[in-house]
A and B are shown apart, each in its own frame.
Chain A
Amino acid sequence: KNEVEQSPQNLTAQEGEFITINCSYSVGISALHWLQQHPGGGIVSLFMLSSGKKKHGRLIATINIQEKHSSLHITASHPRDSAVYICAVGTNFGNEKLTFGTGTRLTIIP
């Protein structure tokens, strides 16, 4: 069993839909990261959080430490949101050595 599991693996939705991507992990963590990777592109950090909720524009990330679960939400989705979204956890407060999930491929259809 992977330490970090994401669901769904693939998600296709219509433009404007509310999107939820889930991440479950099995280890104690110092922080959880959500990252975005466009095809052929680099990885962009979206959020780093260790408790509660963070919001940036149309993106919202939440984490429940007790349940070892995090969600990434996208409101009013747009085709430019199409990318792979990756959840990663750090287990050491001293560094950002991360364990990554395999990602969720999101496709938003106009």
Chain B
Amino acid sequence: GAGVSQTPSNKVTEKGKYVELRCDPISGHTALYWYRQSLGQGPEFLIYFQGTGAADDSGLPNDRFFAVRPEGSVSTLKIQRTERGDSAVYLCASSLRVKGADSGANVLTFGAGSRLTVL
């Protein structure tokens, strides 16, 4: 696609429910990132995929959070037994990931985010 697409754009759920958030990155982008942004804060890293594998999941807050990218394109962030503290905007970003720290291809393209509200 032309940009990074995230669905749903808004999700309201009740405490204890299961939620899935989807990210469709730019076609051909091998690297995919999930970040979480709480109100008034900068985004915080959750997990990074290179291809199909989770290269770094050190930002996932606990075992209620899980993400997959089975075919190396679309990724799903899954949250079990949601809590009110999970309320945030969940951002997905992708990049081409080529060698060279200053390569323009490694600039991240962000989706518009999925706003999750847990009541």
Contacts and interface: CB of A to CB of B under 8 A. Distances in A.
B110 A88 contact: no
A31 B101 contact: yes
A49 interface: yes
B101 A102 contact: no
Interface stretch (B20-28, B40-48, B61-69, B76-84): B40-48
A83 to B, nearest CB: 14
Interface in B76-97: 91, 93, 95, 97
Contact of A48 (B31, B104, B112): B104
A35 B107 CA distance: 10
B108 A41 contact: no
Contacts of A27: none
Contacts, number: 70
B71 interface: no
Interface range on chain A: under 10, 10 to 19, 20 to 34, or 35 or more?
A: 20 to 34
A99 B41 CA distance: 12
A98 interface: yes
A26 B107 CA distance: 22
Contact of A97 (B33, B101, B109, B111): B33
B75 interface: no
A86 interface: yes
B101 A100 contact: no
A109 interface: no
Contacts of B102: 31, 48-51
B73 interface: no
B45 A98 contact: yes
A44 interface: yes
Interface of B: 31, 33, 35, 40-45, 48, 50, 55-56, 59, 91, 93, 95, 97, 101-102, 104, 106-113
